[in-house]
Amino acid sequence: MQYRTVAWLCKKPDRVCKGEVWSFLCRFTGKPCRKLHLIDGRFIHRLALQRGRYSTQKESKNWRQMSKLYGSYFKQDGYDEDVYSKHFKKYYNDNPTKRYVKIMEQINKANRYLLKTLSR
């Protein structure tokens, strides 16, 4: 299937005031943008898509703060599965692997939170 598409351009003054910046104008949202994404044969701005954002961008600010504080506690089961999976390497040449160190830091962080809540 072929589409005949026209991309509209708009220009804005540069932030440094040394010229102008050209950008595309999305037909669906009306927003100027530097990149248009080709989806289903049409050029669309990423905010016009449901899947055009990361999952954390869709969350509220309060929820992002909660996940930053307690995220390692909620994800602890996934970390345990990674460490005890079949081909997981904990050590290479008698040194712990970077992945193992990161996962252990997250597990220790979750355990510290658990101990704080139990001691109250």
Average pLDDT over the chain reads 82
**Which pLDDT belongs to residue 49?**
75
Characterize 76-100 residue by residue with b for buried, 16 or more Cβ atoms within 10 angstroms of its Cβ, and e for exposed.
Answer: beebeeeeeeeeeeeeeeeeeeeeb
* Residue ranges per structural domain of the chain: 8-48, 55-119
- Checking if the pLDDT of 13 tops 70, the result is yes
Residue 94 pLDDT exceeds 90: yes
This prediction's pTM: 0.45
Rg of the Cα trace of the chain? 24
How many residues appear in the chain? 120
Q: What is the mean pLDDT of residues 88-116?
A: 87
Kindly indicate the confidence band of residue 98, based on its pLDDT and cuts at 50, 70 and 90. very high
Say whether pLDDT at 3 is over 70. no
